[in-house]
Chain A
């Protein structure tokens, strides 16, 4: 009997653990964005990033995420734009190759919506960001989908002449989709 109880106790953390999703399926995950140039929405994507995420849909508040984006993998819509945004006045990838998001807390917003708060570091500047997201379980996989707005000038992305927001808007919409196993 004692042995059985011991086994159950040993298994408990494993049972609790089983509801955790932590294996990020990078091939089925994406980080995309939409910027506005002269009122024209232009879609872009970061093709390379790594994500360390652990979340339990039953207890999302205990979830954590650490995402690192390879900024040189950007596709901003055209070859000309790709060359430009890697340069000094935009991301300056030579000096700051990565952008980083580290979550500090997750809270429920109600209605199946959650919000991750964390520190976003781009181009050497760190700002607190809030990223609302939803969770959807499907065939043993967990889909995380979210969208938030980032102000590029907070991070000095597009400085000098490019800081004119009547040409390229300050607000950039970031969309993320992560598939977890």
Chain B
């Protein structure tokens, strides 16, 4: 039995940290968007922005790590189209994890609300207040997020399918203890 090559411990940690952040930031964004103006809405808005800045920082750390460390190879038995799809989805996820916080930051600036990370560190406003631009960036932020949602669902569905239908150990690359051979 061939032993599955897992990602590095750092890559695995960064991946799950990002997953956790996205799974918190996304629903907070949805909830606050639907809320009427209230102190709690302003709180959630700030938390969402802080989380978004954290995603932005983390994705850059991940990109640096990824560029300097060869990722674990895909399972050898994987058909070609699946390799192309997997690599494509991974690349798009990186693009979105970079573009979504950036669009949020720019939208905030254009709407006239600066981002102050953790209430302590003011980020520069890269755009000046402009209502039309602010609305356009809000629409972009939304479209990018819907795309992210679709891609994350695809990403998770593929991982589950490989693990529990194909039983090829793909998921074990990211959750090493799933790989029985590594437990020996």
Contact = CB atoms under 8 A, between A and B. Distances in A.
A167 B42 contact: yes
B114 A41 contact: yes
Contacts of B113: 37, 40, 42, 77-78
Interface residues of B, number: 15
Contacts, number: 39
Contacts of A81: 37
A39 B120 contact: yes
B88 interface: no
B111 A168 contact: no
Given A81-B37, A161-B39, A42 B45 contact: no
A172 to B, nearest CB: 15
B43 interface: yes
Chain A to chain B: the 10 pairs with minimum beta-carbon distance, closest first = A39-B119, A38-B46, A167-B39, A84-B37, A39-B116, A40-B116, A80-B37, A161-B39, A167-B42, A164-B39
B116 A38 contact: yes
Main secondary structure of the interface of A (DSSP, over half): mixed
8 contacts: A37-B113, A38-B119, A40-B114, A40-B116, A42-B112, A78-B111, A167-B39, A168-B39
B146 to A, nearest CB: 23
Interface string B105-126: 0000001111110011000000
A162 interface: yes
A78 B46 CA distance: 16
B38 interface: yes
Given A40-B116, A80-B37, A81-B37, 13 more contacts: A39-B46, A39-B116, A39-B119, A40-B113, A40-B114, A41-B114, A77-B113, A78-B111, A83-B37, A161-B39, A164-B39, A168-B39, A168-B42
Interface in B97-147: 111-116, 119-120
Nearest to B119: A39
B37 A38 contact: no
A161 B38 contact: yes
Interface string B25-68: 00000000000011100110110000000000000000000000
